Amino acid sequence: MIKINENYLKLQASYLFSEIRRRTDEFQAQNPDAEIIKLGIGDVTRPLPQVCIEAFQRGVAEMGTADTFRGYGPEQGYEFLREKIAATDYQERGAEISANEIFVSDGAKCDTGNIQEIFATDIHIAIPDPVYPVYLDTNVMAGRTGAFNDGRYEGITYLDSTRQNGFIPELPPQDVDLIYLCFPNNPTGATITKSQLQTWVDFARENKALILFDAAYESFIQDPDLPKSIFEIDGAREVAIEFRSFSKTAGFTGTRCAYTVVPTSCTAYTANGEAHSVHDLWFRRQSTKFNAVSYPVQRAAEAVYSSEGRQQAKALIDYYLKNAALIRKEIEALGYECVGGENSPYIWIYGQTDSWAFFDRLLEKAGVVCTPGAGFGRCGEGFIRLSAFNNHENVQLAIQRIKKALS
Ligand code: PLP
């Protein structure tokens, strides 16, 4: 008899986005003339930078000629891209990362989801609340949790991000082995300082733990004092893995390219305490299960590192940050407490009421779709998330309508 992985039965239905869709569709059906503005989703709306399109097209043309055609590429990614990433995103900022420590992939979603495979099933995991759900669900699938009760899985240490702690969780009370952190954060938009991040790195070193640092939104960081990478922090090379993506940096959500940095000095242990290279394990996993990103896409990603590419990608980020600043300023002016929107595309708003009730109010009174915070975890209750990924005109209109509806 074929049996299923019963851990899948513990997963909660991905209620959040389907419920948002259901309520939005229902409202639209009842109000066919209403022009709904969606500030809920985390997908970019602007086209790819022109340099990426040109590099993409040149890459495709090369595939059409026998002399330049390429078949299977290196599983870790082409060196031309990994060298640029290491030099620009790390060495230029004083972080000691080399090209052989970069693994190019088709998404930070896949990498943050797959990485747990190389660790033991009985390790103890710490996960933020509220959270990007992939970290949690992939550990549920792997059998690292008990049942779901009262909104939480048994066996997980939740790292509460609240108004009281400024949305930077405190260090976990007990020993944990694998810690997920995400800054700038989705959904709260909070950022972490170097000294705060140092305490996490020190904790990991003291406890032989490992930090999985999701920096998918690093390109939104404008404040020069904030770390863009965990590898700007002393001692992180031994205890951290970092995930980055071209999705939000350069509009690649539909094109697919990201990378994960696993330093060669990063160590994990067997049950009897023997140290092993995490880099080697991840290399083994990727070369067995992953076929690399297509050549033209890697050329398109490489173009982000040219001087025009950097300018064009920056223009995209500036575009969304202008939206974010407007949303934050106007919502704060209405008397609501906000986080994010400064070094992040997300604005986390304290609605002081049930987050679905707030969602309904914005939808019915302003025709604006947000994301209710409760969908990201228990600590998200009372909050909503607005996203800056839309065009200026829509954001301006949404703000006018929200002001009318809430004041
Ligand atoms: N990590 C976080 C925190 C995200 O919010 C997202 C996408 O929304 C991702 C990773 C996924 O990135 P990618 O498009 O590279 O899979």
Distance 229 CA to ligand 1 centre (A): 16
Cα angle, residue 130 at apex, residues 129 and 136 outer, rounded to 5°:
65
Q: In the predicted model, what is the mean pLDDT of the chain? A: 96
Kindly report, residue by residue over 209-238, the tens digit of the pLDDT.
999 999 999 999 999 999 999 999 999 999
Which two structure tokens, joined as six digits, stand for 148? 């779901």
pTM score, two decimals?
A: 0.97
Task: Locate the ligand 1 atom nearest the alpha carbon of residue 109 and give its number.
Answer: 16
Q: Which of 154, 199, 206, 207 is nearest to 181 (CA)?
A: 199
Q: Encode burial over 377-398: b for 16+ CB neighbours within 10 A, e otherwise.
A: bebbbbbbbbbbbbeeebbbbb
Query: Nearest CA to 359 among 367, 371, 349, 347?
Result: 371
Q: pLDDT grade, residue 6 (50/70/90)?
A: very high
d(CA 246, ligand 1 centre) in Å: 10
- Cβ of 42 closer than 6 Å to ligand 1, yes or no, is yes
- Between the CA of 108 and the centroid of ligand 1 the distance, in Å, is 5
Q: Is 186 in the pocket of ligand 1 (CB under 6 A)?
A: yes
Q: What tens digit of pLDDT does each residue of 90-110 get?
A: 999 999 999 999 999 999 999
Q: Which atom of ligand 1 is nearest to the CA of 185?
A: 3
DSSP character at residue 344:
S
**CA 207–ligand 1 middle distance (angstroms):** 28
Give distance in angstroms: CA of 272 to centre of ligand 1.
35
Q: Could you give the 3-state DSSP secondary structure of residue 164? A: coil
Q: 307-333 and 392-406 helices cross at what angle (nearest 10)? A: 10
Mapped onto helix, strand or coil, the DSSP state of residue 127 is strand
How many other CB atoms sit within 10 Å of the CB of residue 99?
18
Reported as a single tens digit per residue, the pLDDT across 242-251 is 999 999 999 9
Can you name the residues that pair with 368 across neighbouring β-strands?
A: 37
Structure token pair of residue 197? 């991040």
Whether 78 has a pLDDT exceeding 80, the answer reads yes
Nearest to 213 by CA among 124, 304, 132, 318: 132
Query: With a 6 A CB cut-off, is 258 part of the ligand 1 pocket?
Result: yes
Which of 103, 106, 109 is the pocket-test mutation for ligand 1 (most atoms within 8 Å of CB)?
A: 109
* Ligand 1 nearest atom to the CA of residue 42, by list position: 8
State the Cα–Cα distance between residues 127 and 368, nearest whole angstrom: 30
pLDDT at 42: 85
Please report, rounded to a whole number, the percentage of residues in the chain having pLDDT higher than 90: 96
In whole angstroms, what is the distance from residue 320 CA to residue 317 CA? 5
132 lines ligand 1 (CB under 6 A): yes
> For residues 221 and 223, what is the distance between their CA atoms, to the nearest angstrom?
6
* Angstrom distance (rounded) from CA 228 to CA 270: 32
Ligand 1 atom 12: residue of nearest CA: 108
CA 127 to ligand 1 centroid distance, Å: 16
